[in-house]
Structure 1
Amino acid sequence: MGQACKRVLTNLPTLTDSQRKDPERIIVALREYFIPQSNILYERFVFNTAKQKSDEMIDGFAMKLCRLADSCEFGNLQDELIRDRIVIGTTDETGRERLLRERPIPNLNQVIENLRAAEMSRSHKEAISGVAPVDHLKKMRNGRKGPNHQNQQGQKRSPTQGKKPAGKDNSTKMPKCNYCGKDKHLREQCPARNNTCKKCKNKGHWAAAC
C-alpha cells in the first residue's frame, strides 16, 4: 500500500479502530472510496428515454437497452422493463400497435422476434417490388432514392413520363418542330431554317418557337 493510500485509509471516517485492523473491511472501505457509486436515478432516466435510431436494427436496439439496464438495478423486473422500452421506443409504429393488441402480452424474446420478422418482411417486400436491393442501413441513412431508381414495374421512369399538356390528349398530339413550331420534319426541310427570329433576332427559327 502506497503512502497516498495510507493517508486515505487513516482519514476514512467510516472505519472504527477495530475495523482498521481487519484487511477485508479495509478493502471494502477503500473500494467504496475509490469507485464512485452510480446514480440510479440518472441511469434509469437514460434507460427510460432511450429510443431506436432510424438507422438502428431491432437487435442493436435491444442490446443497447440490455447494457443500460445492467446499471439500473431493476432486479427481477429487468426483462419486462426492457421489453416495455423496446415496444415504446421502436421506430416500427405498425409493429408497436400489433404488439399492444396481442394477448397474452408477449415476453421479451417474443417482442424482439416479432419486430425482427417485420424488418425482414419489409426488406423482402422492397426487393419484390423492384426497389434496388438493399444495404438496409445505408438506405435508411441516405433517406433518398438514387438517380437510377426504378418504379414498381422495374422500368426506368423517363423525365416526361406521365406528363400531359393542358387541354389535349397526350396520345394524339403530334411532335412539333423546335424551330418553326409546325409538325415535326427534317431540319433541312424546315421553312424557318434561313429566317431570322423577330423576337430574339437570332437566325434559324421563328418567334413562335422562340
Structure 2
Amino acid sequence: MAELADLQEQHVPQIQILQQIPLPGPLNIKSGDISENYKNFKQQWQNYVTASGIDSQNEETKKAILLTAVGQDVFQRYINMPILEKEKATVDELLDAIERNLTPTVNKRYIRAMFNMAKQEQHETYDEYFNKLRGLIKNAQYGPLENDLMLDKIICSIKDQNLRERLWLDENITLNKAIDICRSKEVTEKQLRGIESLPFEVNKINKHKKHHDSNTQKRLCKFCGYNYHYKIVQCKARKEVCRKCKKKGHYARVCMSKIKNQSDDKMTQSKTRHVKEVTTIRKNERSQSNEQSKEYVLHTLEAGSSTGILIDLIIYNNNNNSCKIRCQLDTGATSNIIWKKDLLEIFPDPVMRSTKTTLKTLDGARIMPTSTVQLTLKYKNRKYKLIFYVVETEHCPLLSALG
C-alpha cells in the first residue's frame, strides 16, 4: 500500500502539468499548404513535449496523446494509412509516417520557379514579403547558396525603386544588413506620415504688440500711401518732391492740395496710368563687341528739366545674351515704357501681349501703347522681371521707381 501511495504522489504533479499546458492545435489538412501546416504543427508538438515533460511517459501513452493532438480529420485518414507496425514503434516514427502519407512530394523545380518569380506586392510589408521568400527558399533545396540567393532576390524584387538602387550600390551589403535597412525605411516612412497628419499651429509674435493694437496693421502712411511706418525715417517719400504741389515730403498720390483742372488729373478708368513725357532722345553709336554682348547707350532728356536720373541696366534677350541699356528713372511714374524700335533691336522676336491701357502725361496728353512685354533686367547682381509698355512714339526707356 505504501508503494502505491508513493506512485500516486509521483504522478499527481505530472497530471497537473499536462492539464495546465494545452495541446497544440489540430493539423489543418483542408486549406492552405499542407506541407507548411505540418511543419508548424510539428514545431508546436515538439514545444509541447518539452514543456509538458511527457518524454518520461511510455511510447504508447505519447502516441495516444499525439493522435489526439492532430485532430479528427487527420485521425480519420490515419486509420486507413498503410503504416506498418515497425514504422510506428515510437512517437517520432509515427509522426514521420503521418508526414509521408499526408504531404505530397516536393517538386523543387516548381518551388524554385515560384521563388524566382516572386515580387513584393504594394500592400505587403517588408517582413511579410521576407517571410514568404524564406518559406519558398527553404523548400527549394539551394543548400549553402540560400543566403546569397535570398539577398539577390530582395535587391531585385522589393517595391521601392530608390531603396533597390541603394542596396545595389553597396558592395559590402549582407542579407541581415539589407533586411535591417528595409525595415528602417519602412518604420521611418510610417513615422513621417504620422507626423504630417498631426495638426499644429505657428503663432506669429508681434514685437509691437505693447505699443500698437491690431488695427495698426491696416493703417496706411499719409506721406507715401503704403503700409504704415512706425518711424518716419522708414518712409521713402520723406525726401521726395510732390509732382502736384511741388512740396517736399510726400507723393502725389496722397497730396491733399487743390490744383487747377483737377478733373483732368483723375483717372477716368482703372486702366489709365500716369507717366512722365520724354520729349527728346539721342542714341549714341554702338561700340563694337562680341556676339554674346551688344551695348546700347541711350541718353534722354526730360522736358522742362535737366538730364534727370539715369541708370545703366543689363538686359537679356531671348537667347540669354545680354547688353547694356540706359534708362531714365522716374520716381513719379507708375509704369515702365520702351520704344518699339529699341525693343526689336534687342529682341528680334519678342513675346508681346496686346493691351487696352491708356497712359497719360502730366500735361494731359494720352499715349496708346501697342502692347506689353516682360523683360529681364539686372542691376547690382540682382535680376528683375518687369512689365514694359511698348510705344510707337520715340522715347527712351522709362523706368518707374515703383516697379
Q: TM-score range by the shorter chain?
A: 0.3 to 0.5
Question: TM-score, normalized by length of structure 1?
Answer: 0.46
Question: TM-score, normalized by length of structure 2?
Answer: 0.25
Between Structure 1 and Structure 2, whose CA radius of gyration is higher? Answer: 2
Q: Which is strand-richer, 1 or 2?
A: 2
Q: Which has the higher contact order (CA 8 A, sep 6+)?
A: 1
